[in-house]
A and B are shown apart, each in its own frame.
Chain A
Amino acid sequence: MSKFKKKKGGDLPAISTASLPDIVFMLLFFFMVATVMRETSLKVANKLPVADQVEKLDKKNPISYIYAGKPSANYKSFGTEPRIQLNDKFADVKDIAPFIAAERAALREELVPFLTVALKVDGETNMGLVSDIKQELRKVNALKINYTTRKGDPLAPK
């Protein structure tokens, strides 16, 4: 009996924080697994259009990204007309063919026909540029494309 009494007399034991690192590590691992490093830094405005009939972009197949849009605030010196961005650089329409060739060269041969080109184009861009890109892609026979969009109702008023 005296044993129990002894304990009662002491101070409130401090709450153990020993499991805090475990919890944080758990979060850490979640984010490490669930996220991928951004490969390119965007130099163009990229507010994607909305659509609701979307399909997930299949990650099993190789994907090349082509960005297009108005140069963003830090790159005003490149003008206000929509531009194409490949990897980290502003590019011209004629640079698309070598870009696709380089992307294909980096792939294993059996994967080349499955290369999908994801067009991440800003909603404010005009169709002229987009169709120029499409035309170039047709020339190099990269026919699988994906218009990357956000999910949403396109009929909703902006």
Chain B
Amino acid sequence: MAKRAAPEVNAGSMADIAFLLLIFFLVTTTIELDSGLNRKLPPIEETEPPIIKEKNIFQLQVNRNNDLFLKTGGDEKIIELKDLRKAAIDFLDNGAGQGPDKCDYCQGKKNPRSSDNFDKAIISLQSDRATKYDTYIAVSNEIIAAYNTLRDREFKRMFPSEKVTYVEAEKEYADPRTSDARKEKLKERLEKIKLLIPQKFSEAEPKSNN
């Protein structure tokens, strides 16, 4: 019998079918890359507000025209957004505390009219009902940046063997590829920094002035 090759199945249209599916998925889906500022809201139950020395508060107000008004250390002024990060770092890092409130790691100016230590320093942000969300996020971002800068510094100081900053270490901790043993170690170190420099950032309810 003569050897006959089986007729080849034409696979040319397979590409078309695959393309059709590909285009369907391209159109109907979006790559979700959600990231943002994580915050924790205070619980609703009314507790007695603790008594805080005025020098330990960094009081920020954003008005309806998106201007920033800063009240801290007996000083009141209008501040530009670009100067906010530095002002917040100076305030947090001031370290004027004496005795038990002494701040061992603060590298600030030790201005007696500004904050005692990292733990005592509180940043309060109050916005108007007509403030734009854009501005609010930009201000929050700067405040968080100030905290991150200080945490980075302290992380490097306390754990010089780690070749990363606090923010990078946090990313590594959140990364599912990190091994469990490494995670444990990182967690312990991150917690230490969080305890040293707690994020005391209160977002008061906006004023409703008409």
Residues on A close to B: CB < 8 A? 17-18, 20-21, 24-25, 27-28, 31-32, 34-38, 49-58, 63, 116, 118, 121-128, 130-131, 134-135, 137-139, 141-149, 151, 154-155
Contacts and interface: CB of A to CB of B under 8 A. Distances in A.
A138 B39 CA distance: 12
A125 B133 contact: yes
Contact of B129 (A36, A57, A58, A126): A126
Nearest to A123: B134
B6 interface: no
A1 to B, nearest CB: 25
B129 A28 contact: no
Given A127-B206, A138-B44, A155-B81, A53 B145 contact: yes
B44 A141 contact: yes
A18 B32 CA distance: 33
A114 to B, nearest CB: 13
B46 to A, nearest CB: 11
Given A24-B22, A28-B22, A143-B41, A128 B12 contact: no
A123 B145 CA distance: 20
B127 to A, nearest CB: 4
A21 B43 contact: no
Give the residue among A34, A38, A51, A135 with the most B Cβ atoms within 10 A: A51
Contacts of B133: 49, 121-127, 130
B28 A147 contact: no
24 contacts: A24-B19, A24-B22, A27-B22, A35-B29, A35-B32, A37-B29, A38-B28, A52-B145, A53-B141, A53-B144, A56-B34, A57-B35, A58-B174, A121-B133, A124-B132, A124-B134, A130-B133, A131-B127, A143-B42, A144-B38, A145-B40, A147-B37, A149-B35, A154-B142
Contacts of A25: 18
B205 interface: yes
A36 to B, nearest CB: 6
A21 B22 CA distance: 11
Contacts of B196: none
B47 interface: no
Interface size range on B against A:
35 or more
A146 B131 contact: no
Contacts of A126: 129-133
Contacts, number: 164
A28 B145 contact: no
The 8 A-B residue pairs with the shortest CB-CB distance, nearest first, are: A128-B129, A35-B29, A154-B138, A123-B134, A24-B18, A51-B141, A148-B36, A49-B137
Contact of A53 (B12, B32, B131, B148): B148
A17 B14 CA distance: 10
B79 interface: no
A21 B18 contact: yes
B50 to A, nearest CB: 19
A131 B205 CA distance: 7
B137 A51 contact: yes
Contacts of B127: 127, 131
A127 B132 contact: yes
B133 to A, nearest CB: 5
A118 B34 CA distance: 9
Interface string B163-198: 000000011001000000000000000000000000
Interface string B24-59: 011011111011111111111000000000000000
